[in-house]
Amino acid sequence: MLMQRLHVCAAIILCIARARLSFENQTVDNNVTKSESNDLKSVLNLVGNVTESLDTAKPDEDHTQAQRNASEDGEQMNKETHGAKPDCPPLGLESLKVSDDQLESSSYLSVGLGPHRGRLNIQSGIEDDDEYDGAWCAGVEDQEQWLQLNALRPTLFTGVILQGRNSIWSLNWVRTYKVQFSNDSSVWQPCMNGSEEAVFVGNEDLETPVLALFPEPLVAQYIRINPQTWFSNGTICLRAEVLGCPVPDPDSQHFSESESGSLDDLDFRHHNYNEMRKLMKSVNDECPNITRIYTIGRSYTGLKLYVMEISDNPGKHELGEPEFRYVAGMHGNEVLGRELLLNLMQYICRGYNRGNQRIVQLVKDTRIHLLPSMNPDGYETAYEKGSELSGWALGRYSFEGIDMNHNFPDLNNIMWDAQELAMDKKRVAPETRAVISWMQDIPFVLSANLHGGELVVTYPFDCTRDWIPRQDTPTADNDFFRWLATVYASTNLVMANPERRICHSEDFQQHNNIINGADWHTVPGSMNDFSYLHTNCFEITVELSCDKFPHVSELPIEWENNKESLLLYMEQVHRGIKGVIRDKDTRAGIANAVIKVDGLGHDIRSAVDGDYWRLLNPGEYKITVWAEGYFPRIRHCSVGSEPHATICDFTLTKTSQDRLKQILASGGKIPRDNQVRIRAMRMRKLRASTKILNHRREQQQRLNKVKRK
Ligand SMILES: [Zn+2]
């Protein structure tokens, strides 16, 4: 539904027809001339050009010069800024860089519709009229209403992005508006277009962000957005972002510190598909001995799903070495994870080359797989619109409109209802299929799925029982999952900041920024649940930032916010117990042996070489291991608090088929048909292993029969 609402709507600057302003090239001038003859198409082209330049914004030396001149002399400013590329970044209403007390308004309809809610892409709670509504709405309906931003220092204001109210119950948006500037918030100067006051075109729907660039940018400290007309069946409501370049102020201590964000020399920008490939290639060239690029499949439109492997022996699984993965960009418009993974591969490569001990250790002991873009089709759609104009949902879904986080076989419901619900009927996206077979090919132990649009870490289950909208639905490994989530949340610099403002309508800080996925909102068919129920891999979801598509200027600081969390989380793969399960006589590893922890209803299976990993919190554990054709073995293993796994090897003695059957008949460990129902709750994992494991078992049995014959 959201997709339909988000039809393409370009910004039109009403007054542009008369604008003497030339932006950057001849094409633009032509467009302006044509638009004088009311050629709307040309105006749209012009806006298209401008939109592009916004997205590819780079630090611009000339601009700083223009600002200096501007602040010295108002007359001078117009000359200097004419022809300047309007590429000032958003001041941060969306990213929350602008604080609530920097926003004021002439009036407001209710507390939940106050000026602090007038932020681009802010999301309302489920009901209207609560504390967290979806816009600023004026309390009075006339043309004197305004939303005001105090930029706290002289700023060259270059434009505004406007959006309607986020609501499923009411329709409110502003159609046209004026803009005023002030240095002291008492004397106001209108935004001009030549000799006339500029009037800008705002919205025609609730969600599409519309950009307007000022014909005559101005340096000031305050800016007001002043609605003139609005949707006739609604009232004055808007969400906004303001574009501006802060003017350096040598006298102000507050702003004298460098704000660039990171000292790491990484490629901080948004990488589209081709740029991402190039960057991955360059990392591979820089670190050929520890990296390998491979693909796990293709998107619907044929873009490849690239993975960067990092290991001291790329391309091979080493006995006993755990496998880790990060997956980003499952929702194509939640782009921060993609950039963080590109940063991370560069950072690990360079750290390794420089001999950084922590990185060297990590690379030697772990096989790391980074998938920066699970939904490259969706990403390209969002990227085209750019960080400010892609809205809230554009690019979230696959090309076919599939939400991949609802697209994995829904094992929870199979498990709980003991029947295969819509699993076979469901259309599975090629991207989802690719990831599923990747999860089956590699014995992953730990993973995180990187999303955006909130600041919280969620752990499975993501799906409630019986279709309840939200309910705490823990796994058997709840304690360890809470540990994992806490590791990320408590080291992420934004989440860990007790002063931070909530993103939209939910206060996750009261839960230390972690929550059971199903307790937030139920998601049937999530990747986390599939991973836990169908494979040995524990996976959590990280919601990385309030803003799904942060402006390029935010990327260095976002890297710093997440760097330690990303590294520390990977290191958690070395917790619990691990070992190799071998045949006593041949010493060969035994694949597919079951590792059961007494008191925990979730079993792990050994990998092809007989090695296994069982993530556990510190404590004493009774471990039972069995495999088809062997006597079960029990060992006691203890896990300490140090971040390396306790080695717990097992050697199993072969038994005759008859002997095994006897053990099973006397209430042994392997569930048979009749025991399945009785033990349903305790043996969740085994039952949930569904089709493929059953299928494998059948194949194995058939093979055994063939061999016996
Ligand atoms: Zn998401």
* Cα 506 to middle of ligand 1, angstroms: 16
Q: Is the separation of the CB atoms in 456 and 512 below 8 Å?
A: no
Residue 538 has what pLDDT?
Answer: 98
Q: pLDDT band for 130, please (50, 70, 90 cuts).
A: confident
pLDDT at residue 308 in the model: 98
Give yes or no for residue 72 having a pLDDT over 80.
Answer: no
Given a cut of 70, whether residue 60 has pLDDT beyond it is no
524 CA to middle of ligand 1, Å?
14
| Per-residue pLDDT at 508 exceeds 80 | yes
Going by C-alpha positions, the residue among 28, 36, 134 that lies closest to residue 85 is 28
Q: Is the pLDDT of residue 38 over 90?
A: no
Comparing 411-415, 497-501, 637-641, the range with the smallest average pLDDT is: 411-415
pLDDT attached to residue 231? 96
Which stretch of DSSP H or E encloses residue 594?
strand 594-597
Q: Residue 235: is its pLDDT beyond 90?
A: yes
Residue entry with tokens 């979801």: 541
Q: Quote the ligand 1 centre to 327 CA distance (angstroms).
A: 12
Query: Residue 643 C-alpha to ligand 1 middle, in angstroms?
Result: 30
Q: Rounded to the nearest whole angstrom, what is the distance from the C-alpha of residue 331 to the centroid of ligand 1?
A: 5
Place 514 in a pLDDT band, splitting at 50, 70 and 90. Answer: very high
Q: Nearest 5 degrees, angle CA 599-CA 631-CA 580?
A: 70
- What lies within 8 Å, CB to CB, of 607 at 6+ separation is 317, 443, 591
Can you tell me whether residue 128 is helix, strand or coil?
Answer: coil
Q: Would the pLDDT of 372 be above 50?
A: yes
Distances (CA, A) of 692 to 167, 524, 697, 699: 43, 19, 8, 10
**How many C-beta neighbours within 10 Å does residue 633 have?**
17
Burial class (CB in 10 A: 0-12, 13-18, 19+), 315: exposed
Percent over 90 (pLDDT), the chain: 68
80 part of the active site: no
- Dihedral pair phi/psi, residue 24, rounded to 5°: -145, -20
Q: Hey, what are 690's tokens?
A: 């569904």
Q: pLDDT-derived band of residue 467, with 50, 70 and 90 as boundaries? A: confident
What is the structure's pLDDT at 149? Answer: 98
Query: Of 63-67, 307-311, 327-331, 521-525, which gets the smallest average pLDDT?
Result: 63-67
Confidence bin at 409 (pLDDT 50/70/90)? confident
Q: Helix, strand, or coil here: 502?
A: coil
Residue 564 has pLDDT above 70, yes or no: yes
Between 47-61, 105-119, 609-623, the lowest mean confidence (pLDDT) is in 47-61
Catalytic entry in 543, 554, 558, 571: 543
Mean pLDDT of 123-133: 78
Q: How far is the CA of 560 from the centre of ligand 1 (A)?
A: 21
162-207 residue pLDDT tens:
999 999 889 999 999 999 999 999 999 999 999 999 999 999 999 9
CB 221 within 8 A of CB 189: no
Peptide bond into 23 cis (omega under 30): no
For residue 7, is pLDDT > 50?
no
Q: How far is residue 593's CA from residue 357's CA, in Å, rounded to a whole number? A: 35
Greater confidence (521 vs 684) lies with 521
pLDDT in tens, 622-643: 999 999 999 999 999 999 998 8
Q: How far is the CA of 573 from the centre of ligand 1 (A)?
A: 24
CB 442 within 8 A of CB 324: no
pLDDT at residue 27 in the model: 31
Report pLDDT for 464: 87
Calculate how far, in angstroms, residue 679's C-alpha sits from the geometric centre of ligand 1. 35
Q: How confident is the model at residue 589 (pLDDT cuts 50, 70, 90)?
A: very high
Query: With contact defined as beta carbons under 8 Å apart, do 184 and 145 qualify?
Result: no
Of the pLDDT bands very low, low, confident and very high (cuts 50, 70, 90), residue 299 is very high
Q: Could you tell me if 475 and 418 are in contact, meaning their C-beta atoms sit under 8 angstroms apart?
A: no
Partners of 457 in the beta sheet? 514, 542
Angle, helices 273-286 vs 376-385, to 10°: value is 110
CA of 550 to the centre of ligand 1 (A): 14
pLDDT score for 421 = 47
Residue 23 has pLDDT above 60, yes or no: no
pLDDT at 370 over 90: yes
pLDDT in tens, 652-675: 998 877 556 656 666 655 545 444
Cα of 334 vs centre of ligand 1, distance in Å, is 6
Task: Give Rg (Cα) of the chain.
Answer: 29
Pairing of strands 237-246, 136-137: antiparallel
Helix, strand, coil shares of the chain, percent, nearest 5, are: 35, 20, 45
Q: Give the separation between CA 12 and CA 46, rounded to whole angstroms.
A: 9
Residue 62 binned pLDDT confidence (cut-offs 50, 70, 90): very low
Mean pLDDT, rounded, for 554-572 = 97
Residue 709 CB neighbours (<10 A): 5
Ligand 1 centroid to residue 391 C-alpha, Å: 14
Q: φ, ψ for residue 387 (rounded to 5)?
A: -65, -30
Please state, as a whole number, how many other Cβ atoms lie within 10 Å of the Cβ of residue 292: 18
Q: What percent of the chain has pLDDT over 70?
A: 78
More confident residue, 405 or 290: 290
Is residue 624 helix, strand or coil?
strand
CB 543 within 8 A of CB 458: yes
Rounded distance from Cα 544 to ligand 1 centre (Å): 10
d(CA 327, CA 448): 6
Ligand 1 geometric centre to CA of 175 (Å): 31
How does residue 707 score in pLDDT terms, banded at 50, 70 and 90?
low
State the pLDDT at residue 183.
97
Of the candidates 652, 635, 648, 656, which has an alpha carbon nearest to the alpha carbon of residue 585?
A: 652
Which distant-in-sequence residues (6+ apart) come within 8 Å of 327 by Cβ?
371, 374, 435, 447, 448, 449, 450, 527
- Cα–ligand 1 centroid distance for 382 (angstroms): 14
Quote the CA–CA distance of 661 and 240 in Å, as a whole number. Answer: 70
